[in-house]
Amino acid sequence: MGLFDNNSNIKSGVKPEASQSTSFVAPKTMDINEVSRLALGSRFTGDLVLDHDIRIDGTFEGRLFCGSRVVVGDKAVVNGEVYSTVVDFGGTMEHGKFFVKDTLTLQSGCKVKGDLNFHRLQVEIGAIYSGACQMIGENEFNQASLALKTELKKPLPKPETKE
């Protein structure tokens, strides 16, 4: 087992001094029930608000607000607006917009026609993109998503009951 010093050099077989931290914080384990999924062959049209991750392998048309990570598979089609902290995009977007608080990854083989707004962009070789591209900070993301988030989080009206 090796340790890293402040200069990122590996120290092999050295016991840490009393002043060095040896604590380890385990990564958060993902509960399978905290990941939504739109499976291949499924279609969703409308507005969707999530606080947890979602994986899309089917067709999504509308507005999506995700407080975590959106993963779009290579056979998926997404059209509309996507607001998220992180997006890994491998599918097809024929028209739409991304607003990404942190990192947008365009994976090899994806096809995107739309506007990209992001803090960080990663484009893999083989990704195809056409549209406007803009780096944004957290304030710009919050401003862009505030109205949508407020609108989408309003409670649904209660159905009328027949008496």
Range from 29-43, 47-61, 147-161 that averages highest in pLDDT: 47-61
Specify whether the CB–CB gap between 30 and 40 falls below 8 A. Answer: no
Percent of the chain with pLDDT over 90: 64
pLDDT tens-digit readout, 10-34: 334 444 444 444 443 434 555 666 7
Torsion angle in degrees (nearest 10) through CA of 12, 15, 19, 21: 70
Question: Where does the pLDDT of residue 46 fall: very low under 50, low under 70, confident under 90, or very high at 90 and above?
Answer: very high
The predicted model gives 139-162 an average pLDDT of 78
pTM confidence score: 0.74
| Domain boundaries, given as residue ranges, for the chain | 32-147
What would the pLDDT profile of 60-102 be if each residue is shown by its tens digit? Answer: 999 999 999 999 999 999 999 999 999 999 999 999 999 999 9
